[in-house]
Amino acid sequence: MTESFASSLERDLASLIVQTLKLKVDPATINPTQTLFGDGLGLDSIDALELSLAISQTYGYQLKSSDPEIKAIFSSLRALSNAIEKNRTK
């Protein structure tokens, strides 16, 4: 059973991930605590770059690879959503 989204931002972010990366998965089936890379959604570093750009354009939050927290931020949909919530400008 998949864990449900904790916020509308998580739901919107799941859709953004699927649309941006052209994933063949229903955004509603993404578990918000599942890892985004490797065994989770299977994203890679190129996906992270594309996703960072989409997040910047959509939410005004600039994700930087030099950020010491970047791995934690990208660890799951929930972690990414929480970081966006704290840092978004739009």
Instruction: Give the other-Cβ count within 10 Å of 29's Cβ.
Output: 9
Question: What is the value of pTM for the model shown?
Answer: 0.92
Q: What is the pLDDT of residues 19-40, one digit of tens each?
A: 999 999 999 999 999 999 988 8
Cross-strand bridge partners of residue 43:
37
- Domain annotation for the chain: domains and CATH numbers: 8-87 (1.10.1200.10)
Residues with Cβ within 8 Å of residue 32, at least 6 apart in sequence: 3, 4, 5, 6, 10, 14, 76, 77, 78, 81
Mean pLDDT of 2-15: 91
Q: What is the mean pLDDT of the segment spanning 37-51? A: 93
Q: pLDDT-based confidence at 2, cuts 50/70/90?
A: low
